[in-house]
Structure 1
Amino acid sequence: MIVEEVMSRDVITLSPQDKIESALKLLNEHHIRHIPITDEEDQVVGIVSDRDIRDAAPSILAAEQNLDILESPLQSIMSSPVITAHPLDFIEDIASLFYDYEIACVPVTHANKLIGVVTEKDILYTLIQVTGIREQSSQIEIRVPNKIGTLPKIAQIISDRNTNISSVFLYPSKEDQSERVIVLRVQTMNPMPIIDELKKQGYHVIWPNLPGMSE
């Protein structure tokens, strides 16, 4: 999935010369946490977050304190330069940016002009969709050798039982780096026939592993 499929296109912006007070008002009115700062050509020159404002004026909600700070221009507190994304970037790359740089919002630009923003919330919601967790389904986790052709064989077992796969994830096994854990979400509320067949064919099902279930 790419950024343009999940980004918000209706973006509220301000200029570097606008006051901190204006940003605070917009953040509260629209229940947002970030405002891209753009120049007259719609190019991103900075970004301001609710945390930036709190850091600049930690007692702005106290009676009549720091009012002079609210009159300062946003260019005095905005973060710059800004990490941006392209609409054709993959969302997992953006998630990596959030983690590596400890940020929660990335403006999306095309031809150097702002066209949207993508936030941590957008990425989290997309992950929920990708996993298929909101569908009626069951999760199965299988530890397998990291060998070519393993996944198609497992998929065939599931297909033979007239069951669709909602999502597939793989990650390295903590027990053995030469193995992988395949996480499947299958469209059935009774995965036991599939689990029994997987075990019959020698696969190590690690979830579900309920009391009374045979290895």
Structure 2
Amino acid sequence: MRMTQNRWVAFRGWPVEALEFYEGLAADNSKTYWTEHLAFYEDRVRGPMRELLAELEPEFGPGKIFRPYRDVRFSKDKSPYKTHLGAWLALGGYIQLSADGLAAGSGAYRMEPDELDRYRRAVAGERTGTELTELIAAIESGGIGVRGHDSLKTAPRGYPRDHPRVALLRHRGLTTWIEWPPAAWLGTAAARNRIAGFLRASRPLRQWLEANVRS
């Protein structure tokens, strides 16, 4: 819940018009479109995200909503606005709303060099590596994907190509990820329950990373 004008507002999901807003933005990514729809964005798109983060905070830590503006300094695409709304939670979690529906992720999208070294050592270790493969299997059995990011084409230097966990060794990022297409429940409090359930199911991977990579 969030406080507004001296009253608490509970999260009730996003209206279908919130997704239509992003459909329109993808078709007309201009300052004119953004300005004309800014009040709607603040009230019906960003507002529900603030409410959601407030309700998730007791279990998953405070959240932050990312800015809607793209960094176009080094991009050929000069479209000024992101066609999705993203937010993160301090205790591990990413939430995204777009015209395609709702999505969520958790883990380490990109590891720093020192983190990557610790990650590879942990993956190669018999106890910690086996623990990782087992928890990934458990997470995926619940319908949640586990993705590697920025992966090498072969084993990293210093590790054998025939290592039993070479596929994990090649990753430079590792996250859980789930996508939900547009559905009626997105406009209800059930959206919060789905996000919370995903984050709880993803917790073993986050805890493994905290213990073996970020410590």
Q: Same fold (TM over 0.5)?
A: no
Larger radius of gyration: 1
| Higher RCO by CA contacts (8 Å cutoff, separation 6 or greater) | 2
* Higher helix content, 1 or 2: 2
* Higher strand content, 1 or 2: 1
- Provide the TM-score with structure 2 as the length reference: 0.25
